[in-house]
Amino acid sequence: MPEIVCVRGDITEAVVDAVVNAANSSLLGGGGVDGAIHRRGGPEILAACKELRAGPYKAGLPTGQAVATTAGRLPARWVIHTVGPVYSRQEDRSHLLASCYRESLRVADELGAATVAFPAVSAGVYGWPMDDAARIAVTAVRDTPTSVSEVRFVLFTDDALAAFTAVAG
């Protein structure tokens, strides 16, 4: 099981092997974490995503799945893009949110990444309640067999940091 670290900060500044991007299914950039990673990482990330769209992900990346690209100008080596589910009170989509973390760790293992930084996937514009997002994220990381030695949750707000720290211990 990897060491779990929770910090407040900007994920685009994380010095790790792989940064996880809370992407939209188009893989072509967006708002929030996705937009920040594309802006800071530069055109290399968008070019790599366009190649994925021309190949195996013509219809976009499915929710709960993950795929890697270069990190461009980020201090990380790779960006692992994952598409989180939109929160719904009518339908339990927690398995899809957990899958984002499991699949990202699987991709990290394939890359040989020892350190991975995650944002709070789906807890921004996708509306997932922060406490629940934190519980699902930390549980999924703890329950996923991986060779990653450190998972760093890089949270943008004090509230997010408090929620993740409370669950991670």
How far apart (Å, rounded) are the C-alpha atoms in residues 121 and 33?
A: 9
Going by C-alpha positions, the residue among 111, 6, 16, 15 that lies closest to residue 66 is 111
Would you say 151 and 116 are in contact if contact means Cβ atoms under 8 Å apart? yes
158 included as an active-site residue: no
- Among 10, 17, 34, 92, the active-site one is 34
Going by C-alpha positions, the residue among 135, 161, 139, 27 that lies closest to residue 83 is 27
List, by residue number, the catalytic residues: 34
